[in-house]
Chains A and B, each alone.
Chain A
Amino acid sequence: MVTAKPSLELVAEVLNGHPRSISRLISRVEARDPECRPALAQIYEHTGRAHLIGITGVPGSGKSTLVRELALAARKTDRTIGIIAIDPSSPFSGGAILGDRIRMNELTGDPGIFIRSMATRGALGGLARASMDAVDLLDAAGFDMILLETVGVGQDEVDIVQAAHTTVVVSAPGLGDDVQAMKAGLLEISDIHVVSKCDRADANKTIIDLKAMLSLGLRMNSTTGWQPPVVRTSAEAKEGIDELLAAIDRHREHLQHSGELAQRRRRTAEMRMLKTAEDILRARFISRDDDIVVDLVERVITRALDPYTAALNLLATLDEGKSDDGGKKRP
């Protein structure tokens, strides 16, 4: 029974694509159970094969529907698909309604597709803390293509660009001035633009606005040799999905030939290491059994210390801690 098997014993099953073991390890990563870390270290050695595609866009732009259509199209080319769909946690209760699967029901039951819903659990930037570990598990399990659907984003939740090989930004007609709203953050990170719901009459205006915006930036982007295409899709009319899949495949080829893939891998590795270090530090401060955090907060409230100096004091305690307990306070 998988139930309480040690994580290291699940590694071989994950490599064989066993859904129960993949999903159990994702849960342990999500729960930040330190027991699973050696297993994840082994898993990591088997990663690097899958093409990781980030799907992002404002809420209601049609990301989940697009993921479904894209998965169905890619299955016809005999590729297996892993999907990680992220929704926000409530900042008050910490709970979450994960509803992306409602639009992905056609995919359920196909053993070549694995879908996992994740809550952000307080992480900003559009991803969950455990997203990349979950990607590793699906990659090691042999899924050819991994679709990482972010929460509905606003202007600068752009972590996806540091995580994915190919970033698809979805815009939809009728969402008011969303193109304007996106121009500082989202538009710049896109490798491929999708205008969804193109069966709607006002879709052309969205496409024109988007292309106009993009043409302004042509000169700046010309160093990479990749011009982000604008693909119009309609899940309703079953249009544009094959074109999108072709654009994604073209982008992957471009990444390989231009050497940009290596650059992006370096960027992802750096982002993951630094983010994880931040998380470990934060957890270490929170789990301390002395009152140092409370004391420093008190002094910031009374204006005896400014937050920056207090942070330096807090960091200074890490070195002290190491000498007297041998680092036992690690999470």
Chain B
Amino acid sequence: MSERNENPQHRDAIIRVLIAKVGLDGHDRGVKIVARCLRDAGMDVIYTGLHRTPEEVVSTAIQEDVDVLGVSLLSGAHMTIFPRLIALLRESDAADILLVGGGVMPDEDVAALKELGVAEILLQDTPPDAIVETVRRVVRARGPRSAH
């Protein structure tokens, strides 16, 4: 159990994550492994399959009220799709949903995306434990979304 669950008041405040693949990118072995790692770390993981649009993903993230939106992108379209996702989240009054990106991309793009509001980028050599730790860290840093 994560430390978040030790407070009896929030015993069941399990971290919810949406794992999504956006656009023309047919590689989903990686995201399935990530989904499994997060599940084994005690999180609720929603997976929607391949070829989603940014609009669909943001609409799903809102209905599912996830803490983290994890988008894996191996197609090279990260400088188009991540900014679009950030803009849609803001338009939808959902900027508290944290966008975590994964994939292969140049360091300068990583810096630019973080500047834009992506919470974290996990590159190709990130071990499973680090993925789990990153999700917990960004959620902790954002703080609780309960009303007290």
Contacts and interface: CB of A to CB of B under 8 A. Distances in A.
A109 B42 contact: no
B121 interface: no
Interface stretch (B7-15, B70-78, B100-108): B7-15
Interface size class of A (residues with CB under 8 A): 35 or more
A32 B147 CA distance: 13
B14 A121 contact: yes
Given A6-B147, A98-B47, A287-B8, A109 B56 contact: yes
B52 A1 contact: no
A68 to B, nearest CB: 13
A182 to B, nearest CB: 29
A114 interface: yes
B29 interface: no
A28 B63 contact: no
B48 A97 contact: no
B52 A105 contact: yes
Interface stretch (A19-27, A51-59, A211-219, A255-263): A19-27
A23 B147 contact: no
Given A20-B94, A23-B62, A26-B65, A97 B45 contact: yes
Interface string A274-300: 000000000000110000000000000
Contact of B56 (A7, A89, A93, A105): A105
A101 interface: yes
Interface string B113-148: 000000000000000000000000000000011111
B37 to A, nearest CB: 10
B99 interface: no
Contacts of B41: 93, 95
B48 A102 contact: yes
A47 B91 CA distance: 30
Contact of B48 (A35, A36, A105, A109): A105
Given A27-B65, A105-B48, A95 B40 contact: yes
A5 B16 contact: no
Contact of A3 (B11, B40, B45, B96): B96
B10 A31 contact: yes
A192 interface: no
A164 to B, nearest CB: 21
Nearest to B35: A97
B64 interface: yes
A94 interface: yes
Contact of B49 (A33, A102, A116): A102
Interface in B9-41: 9-14, 16, 35-36, 38-41
B69 interface: no
A97 B47 CA distance: 7
B59 A108 contact: yes
Contact of A115 (B11, B14, B43, B63): B63
Nearest to A22: B63
Residue with the greatest number of chain A CB neighbours at <10 A, chosen from B14, B63, B145: B63
Given A32-B12, A109-B56, A93 B40 contact: yes
Contacts of A98: 44-47
Contacts of B47: 97-99, 101-102
A309 B44 CA distance: 38
B105 to A, nearest CB: 26
Contacts of B63: 19, 23, 114-116
A301 interface: no
A201 interface: no
Given A19-B63, A27-B16, A32-B11, 6 more contacts: A1-B95, A4-B144, A33-B146, A95-B43, A96-B39, A114-B63
13 contacts: A20-B93, A27-B145, A28-B147, A89-B44, A90-B40, A93-B42, A95-B38, A95-B44, A98-B45, A98-B46, A102-B48, A105-B48, A109-B55
Interface of A: 1-7, 19-20, 23-24, 26-28, 30-36, 89-90, 92-99, 101-102, 105, 108-109, 114-117, 119, 121, 286-287, 331
